[in-house]
Amino acid sequence: MPTPLLYLTSNPGKVEEANRHFRDRYGFDIEIVNPEFEILEIQASTCAEVAKFSVKYAADKLGKACLKSDTGVYIDALGGLPGPYNAYFDKQIGVDKFLEMFKEQENRKARLEHSFAFCYPGEEPIVFSGGSTGTISKDAKGTRGRWHDFFFVPDGETETLSELRSRDEMYEATFWGTAIDDFASWYMENVLKRG
């Protein structure tokens, strides 16, 4: 029997996502771990770069193959910020204060990035990225999700990611792009089939 997929996170939203996709949808045996050490994250301009560095650091330190993910929202009017610094923005100003500061902004275009990086110890990571485009809502809406989920409205929709997730989790997941599915297909072909 293959070793469980070791997914490193302490984020409850990512735990929910991993269980929904990897366990329930694809049937992976997964082990979600919040390691006893701090996983280093570099300052970078993309989530893919952050996930790639972090997963290699963790895999080498643990001596085990690991999966790590990172998500970000890139807001045009802020020159692409917060990008991979979502957690910092959330901690420092939160959703309501951010939307208050942003209320006079006319350019509300934004882009999501969702990246997964998988790495064996001593090897280079394999990275899968996806995302979508949308706008920033005037008000926070919804009850589920991370910082940006309460105000990011995907193109073609009128509801935030949080509202969409409450209505239909799998439909909402489509706005994060294909990174999770691309990783799952690769993992099934290159890891699970080989045992």
- Active site amino acids: 70
**Cβ(67)–Cβ(30) below 8 Å:** no
Please state, in angstroms and rounded to a whole number, the distance separating the CA atoms of residues 135 and 23.
31
How many C-beta atoms lie closer than 10 Å to residue 81's C-beta? 15
Instruction: Decide: helix, strand or coil at residue 109.
Output: strand
Name the residue among 41, 62, 63, 61 with its Cα closest to residue 52: 41
Classify each residue of 118-127 as buried b or exposed e, where b means 16 or more C-beta atoms within 10 Å of its C-beta. bbbeeeebbb
Q: How many residues does the chain have?
A: 195
SS3 180: helix
- Distance CA(111)–CA(134), nearest Å, equals 6
